[in-house]
Every structure is written in structure tokens, then in C-alpha cells.
Structure 1
């Protein structure tokens, strides 16, 4: 009998031991296959920063942004990347999306190396290549800036050519535009090839009274998913910040992600590295008042086509991370 009791006790200990411990939650991240966010996510997984914060990160590559959004909405993924203005629009429409800050990197305008332009006013009568469409947020901010600074209607005074970011990048390299507006990483490659930044969206935003320390890009998850895993938003944020710290201070960390960066020269690598680090936001919660001011400007410039029903900042938009 004593042996039986001892055996049962040993079995209970075994069942309560590490082998039967509850598995940490998994975050399935839907991302663009060649997106720059992969640099941070790879740094998280390859350095075990996810498991160090009691979760498992499963990175799932997709062909385009639309597919990542469908994956999250349909429950095939738990997280994707977007700007918070888009997330605010979705939340105002009834989706329970919550935003976790990632980057404040924004685009700007570059001009050919031989261009004599010094301000946006000097682009009058020229052709501007714009990644995206008429509601591109960088374009809207630059239009507002030109109007404020020079009394200039940038849309009426220039010819716009809209296109996918890679197309605008290549055409800009061929000197087809007086200026080009693109996402930050394409502009970094333009600058590495000798093109010159005329003005950044950050500079224009500051002139308009915006707090450009507000991170525009971030990760979003469903509030219901986070409710099922208390503390997971902060845990992921900790892993994200640890990855940022590595990339901000370690050349070895950048060499590890270099194969993912699709660079063709050391100049491209160095410019991308520098601009990515410059886009790291300060640690802490998003300033809701500053975000409200930016949302109002986007609403005034882009209307419902851009912000939908998000005429003011939706409650609960920003995750409570510190």
C-alpha cells in the first residue's frame, strides 16, 4: 500500500511539473513578405525575445497588405501592421482593433541630385511622383504645409503621377519627376543613390503644429484576443523594445538581418539602418491629445474617404503599454 501511495504521489508531481506546464500564448503575425517590420520581428525570434517575455511569435508572410488585414479579420492571424489612423477608422466602424506603437518613420520628398529646388515652391509646374493615391497621408500633410508656408496649392500647381512604391522609386531614379513622395525605405534607397531630400513629412508636420514624436506605424491586434491573454500586449511591447535596443546599439544585429533587407550596396544598407534607427519612437504610451490633433487634420484634409467614421479619437484605440 505504501508503495502504491508513493507511486501515486510521484505521478502527481510529474503531472504538475514542467512537462505539463501551460504553454505560452502564440501571436501569429501577418506581415508583408518583404516588409521592413521583418527586421524587428526576426530580431525578436532569433534572439528568443518572445519566449523571454512568455509568448511565442509565429511570423506568417503574405503577398500584400490587403491579405494581412483579411488574415487578422478572419482569425487566421492575430496581429498585423498598419498606421494608427487606419486602425482608428476600423475601430470607429465597430472592429475591436487595438494599436501598439512600432515606428515614427515617415516619408518625404526627394529631388534629383542635380535639381536646384530648395523648397516645395520650386516644384511648381513640375511632375511629382506619389506612392499610393490622392489620399496618401504624406501627400496631404505636404499639401497643407505648402499652403501654410507659401500660399501654394501643391495639387493645382504640379502634375501628380500616382503609383505603387517600387514604380515611383524606379521612376524617380530615372529623373522622371521634379520630386517624388514615397515610403521611408524607398526614399532611403533614393538618397543612397544620390538623390536629395527636399523636405521630410516630419519637418512639414512640425510646422503644422503636429507632435511628430507620435508613432504613426504600429502593430494591431483584436481587443478580444488580448482579453483572453492578460498582459500579452505589454509582453509583446517589451520584446519589441528589446529588439529596438539591439538594433539601435549592435552592428551584429544589423548584419543578422541584412539578408532580409534587399540591399544592393553598402550605401543602401547604411542609409536604411540610419533611417530605421531614427524612426524609433520614445518609450511610453501614445500621447492621445497629440494623436487627436493629427486625426483632426487628416479628417479635414482627407474627409470620410480617409478616416471613415473616426471623426475623433476612438476610446481604447491605443493599447495600455508603457
Structure 2
């Protein structure tokens, strides 16, 4: 993504940035190509932050700053940021290593789907043996979830019965799928429509379904969460609760308002095709998690246990989720 496009996105946010006045401020620093920006934009555009008594300051960060949890930890611990997002396994890992971070609200089931040519004979998990399967990398959570589900429900591990091909990047994986270098590929959810809406490809296995089966809960289970520094939460719990309320309002608006998505596609997406933009909209609506409770958190623990049994604590970087990682009621 060009610097010009990133600046254009930031300008879309800045149009709705006003002075905080006496309101407490939450400083949000989010990736310029991450889907949480749709929710944050909605909060700013409709003033949901002010409605709930705080000021949300959003800055989109560029590729140079996207270096994983180390950067997230530095932003939160360093005092320059109050709000970021990442998957809850990373939150648990960094908290276990002493990071002053805590998950305070769900974001969504940020997983992907297995995409294959329309004429594929892959109909489900039981058909993966003997196939060449593409992933961005071996520790991709889509692949680990698939292995866990195959072991749990079909008594085999596709890591032993299929051929895994690592693409190293999402763009390279898309090329491999298009060129037929693999029988199917596990692509991240916002990129699935680029294949299924523009070419002869189908999503044969939504990984979100495996998340729900493995977690054994009917509540939609988040993989990614919003997080803040624990010291920030202790110092200003009202602002954190206000963000959660504003996020719920934004989700409600994004689920109901199709016209809003036309504006988002124009100002925040790289997608020119309206059909693909609508598919991203529908995927976001299926992915997002509006709220969570004790049942949701219990499911997140169960899912972690499945992932640890497949990948191992060394690969995940943490043997268990530390106490206090999740705060459903901050």
C-alpha cells in the first residue's frame, strides 16, 4: 500500500478528530491495512466516543512499525498508546513474559478459509489427506486449527497425510492458488473474496466453523482482542469501559448500515470492485464479535488447550494463559 493511500486513510479519520477538551483520551494505534480500522472509523464518524464520554484518537501506523508483539508491547508499556489489537495467544504470551497488557474487549474471529478451484473434490476436513495445501507459514493459526480439528473429529493429522507448502506471504499464497501450485490454500479472511469473487474459486472450509466446534460454545468466539496496558486500565477504567460501549455501538451500525460500507470502501479499502467490497463487508459482519462474557472466555481457554496440544507450548510461546489476561468487565 502506498504512502499516499495511507495518508488518505488517515485524512478520513482526521476529518472527525476534534479537540478532546476535558474528556479522557484513548490513543489508538492500528495497522493501516487491518480491518479494526473499519470499527474505529465508525466510532469517529458517528461520534460514539463522545456519546460515551471519552475521546478516541486514532493514528494509522505503517509497515515500518509492523513488527509484531514487541512493537505492541513497546507502544503500551512506553506510555504512547492506550489501545491496540492482536490475537489472544500473543497477549497471553507477552503477559506471561511480564508485559503490562490485558485484553479488554473482543474484536473477532480473525481467521481465514480454505480456498480451492471450483472443480475441487475437497468438501471438508476428511478430504485433506493427499492434497498439496498452501499456507503463509507452518505456524499459521488456520493450519494449527485445522490440524486440531482433524485430530479431534477425524482421528488423523493432515501434517502427516498432506503436503504443506509455505508461501511466506499472503500475496504469494494468492498467486500459488491462482496458478494451481497447490490444491487449496488457507487464506486470511479479507483476502478470500479477492479469489472467490473474481475467479473460479470457492471457499470450501471456513476456519471460523472450526473455532466454534473446538471451543464447544455457541457464543461467537474471538481470536483477536483489543488490549491496553494494565496500568492504563487501573488509572482510567471508565475510559476503557466507554470504549467497549462505543465499540458495541459501532458494531451495531456496521451490521445494519450498508451505505456506511460504501463510504468505507471508498475511503479505507483498496478494493475497486463493488462485489468484492460487499463480500468483505459480509465477511467482516460474520467475523466480528460484539461482546463477550464468562462463557466466551471459557471457550477461549478450551480452544487454547487444543492449539497447545497440536503446536506445543514452544511453538505458541506460552504453556498456559496467565491469570488476569482477559477482563470481560474492565
For the superposition of Structure 1 and Structure 2, which TM-score range results when normalised by the shorter chain? 0.7 to 0.9
Cα distance, 1:180 vs. partner?
0.7
Structure-2 separation of matches of 1:310 and 1:56: 37
Preserved contact between residue 109 and residue 287 of structure 2 (Cα < 8 Å): yes
Matched with 2:97 is: 93
TM-score (norm 2): 0.83
Unaligned runs of 5+ in 1: 1-20
* Distance of aligned partners of 1:161 and 1:190 in 2 relative to their CA distance in 1, 3 Å threshold: same
Matched with 1:135 is: 139
Q: Would you say 1:251 and 2:255 are equivalent positions?
A: no
Matched with 2:228 is: 221
Matching residue within 240, 251, 260 for 1:233: 240
Q: Would you say 1:319 and 2:323 are equivalent positions?
A: no
Matched with 2:208 is: 202
Per-residue CA deviations over 1:216-261 (Å, capped at 9, x if unaligned) read 1111100101111131221001111111111111122112211212
Matched with 2:50 is: 51
- Map 1:298-309 → 2, pairs under 5 A: 298-309=307-318
Structure-1 separation of matches of 2:153 and 2:116: 19
Cα distance, 1:138 vs. partner?
1.6
Give secondary structure in 1 for the equivalent of 2:60.
strand
TM-score (norm 1): 0.85
Structure-1 separation of matches of 2:50 and 2:67: 27
Matching residue within 251, 274, 298 for 2:282: 274
RMSD: 2.2
Per-residue CA deviations over 1:268-309 (Å, capped at 9, x if unaligned) read 111111111112325342533222211211222222234434
Structure-2 separation of matches of 1:97 and 1:268: 36
Per-residue CA deviations over 1:174-231 (Å, capped at 9, x if unaligned) read 3322111121111232222242122122323344453362211111100101111131
Structure-2 separation of matches of 1:138 and 1:156: 16
* Distance of aligned partners of 1:271 and 1:22 in 2 relative to their CA distance in 1, 3 Å threshold: closer
Q: Number of residues paired by the alignment? A: 300
- Map 1:52-67 → 2, pairs under 5 A: 52-62=51-61, 63=63, 64-66=66-68, 67=71
Matched with 2:300 is: 291
Give secondary structure in 2 for the equivalent of 1:244.
helix
Matching residue within 107, 111, 115 for 1:110: 115
User: For the pair shown, which has the larger CA radius of gyration, 1 or 2?
Assistant: 1
Higher mean alpha-carbon deviation, 193-202 vs 206-215, is at: 206-215
Unaligned runs of 5+ in 2: 1-19
